[in-house]
Structure formats: structure tokens, C-alpha cells
Structure 1
Amino acid sequence: MTVYDRSKENPAGARTNRAALIGIGSMGLGMAMSLRRAGFEVAGFDVDAAAVARLVDAGGRGAASPAEAAEGADVVVSVVVNAAQTEAILFGTNGVAETMAEGAVFVSSATIDPDAVRRLATPLEATGRLYLDAPISGGSARAAEGALTILASGSPAAFARARPALDAIAANVYELGDEPGVGAAFKMINQLLAGVHIAAASEAIAFAARQGLDIRKVYEVITASAGNSWMFENRVPHVLDGDYTPRSAVDIFVKDLGIIQDMARSAKFPVPVAAAALQMFLATSAAGMGRDDDASVARLYAKITGTELPTTRKPGQTGLTSA
């Protein structure tokens, strides 16, 4: 395994490349902006016209389809939700597989099953294009800074072709293997831990509120104690502020922990803690909060126990706003 580090400074006179960005959400927009700063011409597509407009406002070019965005591109970065969307972007109507430049690289940043990655990479590479399995970690703020972590696998040729774009969007690129699918497997380990930690943090802060504790003081104490986790430190402030505007939505972990369950069942490997966390995300989604911030698991605990949590409502928030 190789870890590639680089300075965030773009060298003067770097040549301009053509990139396409498919999926202009909070992560994709930040990645597009990072590519622009690095000297890329960026064309983008999203099913949400407002997202495309935000890219245009940031200096990119909007496209009416994935195929149009990818036309002649050296690198196509796909930041969508799942394997079905990734397959449609590659091979569906107005897909990118035949319009991206010969020898160009498709950088797939979706969190999907490793077997699905391999199933998609093989036919793309048969066309003379390259596939880099490159799930991302770091959140929207780091995406905007060009400071993501990328867990990547693919051929040396795919890495070489993608390198200028990787330099633009990531602070660290983990080179995890020569075959697509390895990066996806690493990402699922991360998602197992992340989902469990969010569920545990939500359970703990709601339980603290049920005990009548000052939950702001609980946050102060726990973040200085052995029970702290990155997710507790990052997500509990959303609960304290009553702000469930989605940075990462509940349904993302319904999907990702579901993939982990499928992988574990196939391998005959027990994952009881991840299974319990999945049930809490499923219950939270079923309660109407699937599109809200994943810290909404705390709201589910509050709802079913009659516990009060801060209830400030933010613009765009859906689902429950009080216990």
C-alpha cells in the first residue's frame, strides 16, 4: 500500500486538463471547485438543475447529460450514491463510456459493493478506457478545500492518468491495489466503523438527556475522555444545536450498512454490532428522517423514550423536529 501526499499548492504553469464531474452535490461541487483551482476545465452534470447552476456560478460548464459532460474529457469523476447510478452513468442512455476520450480514466467515488465495482470496471476497460475505484472520505468541507482522503485501487495506468485530478481533490491518496474493488472493500470497513460510531454517539447523548444531564457539559467531558470518538465529536454538535440539515444523510448509512450485511452474509462472517446499528438507521428512516442528518438517530431515541432534545429547526430540514 502506498500513501501519496502532496502540497495543496498548484504549481505555476500547470497544464490545463479537461475533466467531467457527474453528481454535483455538496461533495461533488467542492471537488469541482478544487479541480477548477488546479487549472482544469470542468464540465458537470446533475439531475438537479440548481446543482448544475451552482457549478456554473463557480466557473464550470453545465451539461445536459453525462455523455455531454464527458465528451473529450481526460478524467471523469463520478460522485453518485450507488452502483445502479454508477452503471447508468457509464452505460445507460447518454452514458459516458463512449464519449470520454480514448484512454481517459473514470474515477468512481461512489460507496458500492466491491463485486459491483469489478462488474462495472471490466466492460469499461474493454473499450480502451480506464477505471479507478476511488471512494472518498472527509466530508463537504474537505472536498471544498481539496483535502479529501481517497481509498483507491486500479491499474498503474489508471493511477497515472488520474494523478493530476487526484492531486487537485485530495490531501492523501491511498494506493491499495492494482485491481478495482479493493478500494471499495476498504471503504466498507470505514463505513462499518462510522455507522456504528454514529449510532453509539446518538444513543449516548440521548441517554444522557434522559438522565437529566446537561448535554453540552456531557459533550465537553466526553470529548476530553476515553469514550470520545471522531463521530461523537463531529455529530453531537448537530444534536446540541437541534440542526439536522444533512451533511451526511441517514439513508446513506441505511445503504452502506446494508451493503456490509450483504458482504458479511456472503462471507459467512458475523457482524452483530453493525447489524444493530443498521436497525437504528432503518428505524430512523422509517420515522421520516431518512433525508436528514445522520445524527437524527438521536432524535429517534428521544422520540421513542419521551426524551427532550434541542429542537431548533433549520431551513430544508425534514422529518421530526422534537421528541
Structure 2
Amino acid sequence: MTSVAGLVGLGAMGKGMAQSLRRAGYAPHVFDVRPEIASAFAEEGGAFASPSLAALAGQCDVIVSVVVNAAQTEAVLFGPGGCAAAMRPGSVFVMCSTVDPNWSIALEKRLHALGLLYIDAPISGGAAKAASGEMTMMTSGAPAAYAKAESVLDAMAGKVYKLGDSAGAGSKVKIINQLLAGVHIAAAAEAMALGLREGVDAAALYEVITHSAGNSWMFENRMAHVLAADYTPLSAVDIFVKDLGLVLDMARASKFPLPLSSTAHQMFMQASTAGFATEDDSAVIKIFPGIELPKKS
């Protein structure tokens, strides 16, 4: 292994990805805005906690950024003490956030102008698959970037899809995935809410649907959170306010109608403004009136 890997952002997905790198034989340099999180991860062994973004950038050939959005990615690269100024020429920045594809295309050009390589690499699969190295990466970038970063990508993901030789395609595919994910969560919540309204036993409904044609991965995963009355945010309501907003922005540019996405976006915005912004995205079910949600046993 020739590449030294760094990872920024030890949240629900990033920590699992760092664990996968460590399991694959890398000793990743890690950074998080919460220094104690990075230190605790390093103390487990097989990793180094970087005191700053610049310090991490100076040590690594490949930097994987696992932050929430474009604004945070911008700060990681170009904020005070950011990575871009400290990265060595020819090193690779791997961007795993869900962002506007046009922003990602522009970022590739900005980094190329600095002599840096870039891979547009949004991720999907959830925290458990990130931790087991089985998540999906939707990537696009120049062949030179893949040549340096491919082994790092393979260490973190079960599926690494190469969707083009420049930035943008990865983010476009991720946006379409988020269209389906958001609509499926909203539909799952609507179905469970109707069942509750009609007096159907919630656990029985869940059992039947998860073994029937109406099931979806999102119904099976998120409605389990509802049954457990556990709205700990593995993916928060506001993530889908953002992501479905990106879906609609992309479609609006070409005047393409997305009626289901528009409705789902309104549902998540309603949940957010009702006070559930930072709860698990399954909390979108709380917008439905006249139902009694399951309580913690």
C-alpha cells in the first residue's frame, strides 16, 4: 500500500469508514471538529489523531471528507487552516457529501488549478454498512485520481461505482438515490400512520408489510425506529430537507416535474418546522394528526 489515507469527519458514516480503513491495513490519520472523538478513535489503535486539518493534509496522499454538506466541505478545504493549502501536489481529495452536482464540478476545477486531484464520491448504505465496509460509493473523477485512491475506496466500500472521468456524475446519481430514499421514507411514514389511524396493530402491520410486495428497504429500516419509539438521529429530518431540496433544484434547472419529490420535501419541511429537525428522519411520521405513536417499552 503506497497511499497514506486521511479521513475528516467521524460521524455516523465517517467513523465506520475509518474503521474499515483500519481493518484493511491502513493506519488512517483522522480529524474531527470534536478533538476528543478523534483522540478516542486513535487510542483504539491503528490510527493517528491529527491536531488540525493542515496537519492531516500534510501527511496524506488521499483525504476522504465525510462531512454534512457543501458548506462544511468548503470549510474543510478553504477555511482557516484548511486542507487545500497544505495538500501535496498530486494528492487526492475524495468528497463524500451529498451536494449540488454543479458545485462538485466547480470544485474539481478549483482543486485542479492547485495541482490537486479530486473524486466526486457520495456514499450510501447507512452507518452499519459503513462500519462493515459494505456501503456503496457513487464516484466520478479523472483516471489519475483513481490510480492513487482506488485501493482506499475499495477498503471502505463493498461497491465502488465509477460513473465518469470527471466530477458531477457521482453527485447526480446520489441525488437520484436520495429522491427515492426520501420518497420511500415519506411513503412508509404515511402507510404506518394510516395503519395507526385505523387501529391496526403496528407490530403486526410491520411484520406483514416487510414480507409483502409493498415493502421497501426504507420501510423495513425506518419503521423499526417508529416501533421502538427511538428517534435517535442516524439520519436527521433536516438531511432530507436538504437532500430533497437538491433533488428539486437539479430538476428545476431543466424544468423537469417531480410531483412525488415535491410532496415528500414538504412533509420533511413540515416535520422540521414542527420541532423534529434533529430527530431521526422517521420522525416525519409525527406530522400526521390523530394518531398515537408507539411508546418506548
Structures share fold, TM-score greater than 0.5:
yes
TM normalised by structure 2 equals: 0.96
Supply the AA of the counterpart residue of 1:31.
M
**Other-structure match for 2:76:** 89
Q: Is this contact kept in 1: 2:35–2:51, CA < 8 A?
A: no
CA contact (8 A) 2:91 2:116 kept: yes
Residue of structure 2 in register with 1:23 after alignment: 9
The code of the aligned residue for 1:312 comes to: K
Match of 2:107 in 1: 120
Letter in 2 for 1:306: G
2:93 is paired with a residue whose SS is strand
Structure 1 counterpart of 2:145, from 137, 158, 178: 158
Deviation string 1:182-237 (CA, Å, 9 cap, x unpaired) is 10000000000000000000111011001000011111111121111111111111
Match for residue 161 of structure 2? 174
Q: Does structure 1 retain, via aligned residues, the 8 Å contact 2:63–2:94?
A: yes
- Out of 263-272 and 182-191, give the one that drifted further: 263-272
Aligned to 1:144: 131
Identity percentage over the alignment?
A: 55
Task: Find out whether 1:39 has 2:25 as its counterpart.
Answer: yes
Q: State the alpha-carbon separation in 2 of the partners of residues 57 and 27 from structure 1.
A: 19
Q: Is the 8 A contact 1:107 1:131 kept in 2?
A: yes
| CA–CA distance in structure 1, aligned partners of residues 31 and 151 of structure 2 | 21
Maintained 8 Å contact 1:136/1:151: yes
Which of the numbers 276, 299, 311 marks the counterpart of 2:295? Answer: 311
SS of 1:67's equivalent in the other structure is: helix
- 1:292 is aligned to 2:276: no
Query: 1:293, 1:180 → 2: CA distance?
Result: 30
* CA-atom RMSD in angstroms: 1.3
Aligned residues: 296
Q: State the AA in 1 paired with 2:281.
A: D
Query: 1: distance between equivalents of 2:4 and 2:237?
Result: 34
Give the whole-Å Cα distance in 2 for the aligned partners of 1:216 and 1:269.
39
Deviates more, 1:229-238 or 1:34-43: 34-43
The answer as to whether partners of 1:17 and 1:39 remain within 8 angstroms in 2 is: no
User: 1:207 corresponds to which residue?
Assistant: 194
- SS across alignment from 2:105: helix
Structure 1 position 16, deviation (Å): 6.0
Asked if 2 retains the 8 angstrom alpha-carbon contact of 1:16 and 1:41, the reply is no
Instruction: Look up the SS of the partner of 1:256 in the other structure.
Output: helix
Cα distance in 2, alignment partners of residues 196 and 100 from structure 1: 39
What is the identity, as a one-letter code, of the residue corresponding to 1:164? S
- Compute the displacement of 1:299 (Å): 2.0
SS of 1:71's equivalent in the other structure is helix
The amino acid across from 1:22 in the alignment is: V
Deviations 1:249-279 (A, max 9, x none): 1111000001111111111111111010001
Shift of 1:155: 0.6
After TM superposition, the score normalised by the length of structure 1 is: 0.89
**Partner Cα separation in structure 2 for residue 207 and residue 294 of structure 1:** 18
Aligned-pair CA distance for 1:63: 2.1
Match of 1:98 in 2: 85
User: Cα offset for 1:58?
Assistant: 3.2
CA distance in 2 between partners of 1:216 and 1:41 (Å): 44
State the alpha-carbon separation in 1 of the partners of residues 156 and 183 from structure 2: 27
- Retained in 1: the 8 A contact 2:3–2:149? no
Question: What's the offset of the Cα at 1:26?
Answer: 1.3
Give the Cα–Cα distance (whole angstroms) in 2 for the partners of residues 70 and 39 of structure 1. Answer: 20
CA contact (8 A) 1:43 1:70 kept: no
Which letter does structure 2 place at the counterpart of 1:226?
Answer: A
User: What stretches of structure 2 of length at least 5 have no aligned partner?
Assistant: none
SS in 2 for 1:179: coil
1:23–1:79: 8 Å Cα contact kept in structure 2?
A: yes
Q: Using the TM superposition, give the Cα deviation of residue 84 of structure 1 relative to its aligned residue in structure 2, in angstroms.
A: 1.2
DSSP 3-state at the match of 2:279: coil
The runs of 5 or more residues in structure 1 that have no matched partner are 1-14, 314-323
Query: C-alpha distance in 2, partners of 1:285/1:104?
Result: 39
| Paired residues of 1:16 and 1:40 also in contact (CA < 8 A) | no
